[in-house]
Amino acid sequence: MQLQNICQVLNIDIKISNDIDIIGLNSLQEATSNQLSFLENKKYLSQLQETKAAAVFVTQDMANKVPNNTIALVCDQPYEVLAKASKFFAPQVAQTTGKKPKLGKNSTIMPNVYIGFDTTIGDNVTILSGAFIGDNVTIGDNSIIYPNVTIYRDCVVGDNVIIHAGTVIGSDGFGFATTKDGQHIKIYQNGNVTIGNNVEIGANCTIDRAAFSSTIIEDMVRIDNLVHIAHNCKIGKGSILVTQTGLSGSTTLGEYVVMAGQSATTGHLSIAPFTTILGRGVVSKTIKEPKKHWAGFPLMEHRSWLKLQGKIQKLIK
């Protein structure tokens, strides 16, 4: 869409001399000269000042902080306006036309499998009954998709990947902008999920697609059953997520992080490489120092947590 048309639909009063074709939305850090972004929280002001976005939704008090090559789209509620704009760039739920699926050599597709348009299946792939593979999906060589797996449109699965029964890849992230009167406006999740090579994902897991860009699972990750990974997370190479782990949006795990059963994060944070979060540990702040063990809530180093538990037991006695 042209930027002037977007502004008209969203009731933003601005005149643009040289109109710009906008192809989508993105974060302040990753937006390009033909994408829109937004600033709602002032703690991301430094990202605003460095953004390459064509235009940014901002409040009036932040308009003078927008870079010279970026257009300030002034509005009262930037996050709410972004949510409304996201609908303009949402792809079709299901294509009705396109190229027939491309199947590699020696691939086995069992009965009752659906494969959408513009999808590519690699060599020696096995897809078992009941699986749904959406439009424009790529599945690499030697991968196994077990029964009733759902892979939404535009997702990418690497080579030598195993996805067990009932898992959903690419469902919408839980993104809503709440208005002043309490309505929840859907933010359309226009990104995808990208899964690397030599990854194994257990049964009944859910990995949400990104709001924009990608939710990323890097090479050699191991994910147990019943794990949830929210939108725009990045799981580092060789990490292990044990059953009932839940990651909130925009969590970044470094390489070889271990998250034990029922552990969780609160989102928009990073965990250093080779960190271990013990069972039921909740990460609420970024962990910068690698190779440490953490436990409990509030989270503390494992040794300190053990000492605390010992003192509690003495108090009880």
As annotated, the active-site residues are: 231
User: CA-CA distances (angstroms) from residue 4 to 7, 9, 18, 40, 71?
Assistant: 5, 9, 9, 22, 11
Determine the 3-state secondary structure of 62 from DSSP. Answer: helix
Cα-based distances in Å from 210 to 80, 132, 178, 223:
18, 20, 19, 19
Specify the residue for token string 């001399």: 17
From the list 74, 58, 63, the residue with the least C-alpha distance to 13 is 74
- Cα distance between residue 168 and residue 150, in whole Å: 5
Position 234, amino acid? K
String of DSSP letters for 154-175: T-EE-TT-EE-TT-EEEEPP--
Distance CA 209, CA 249 (A): 10
48 in Cβ contact with 62 (< 8 Å): yes
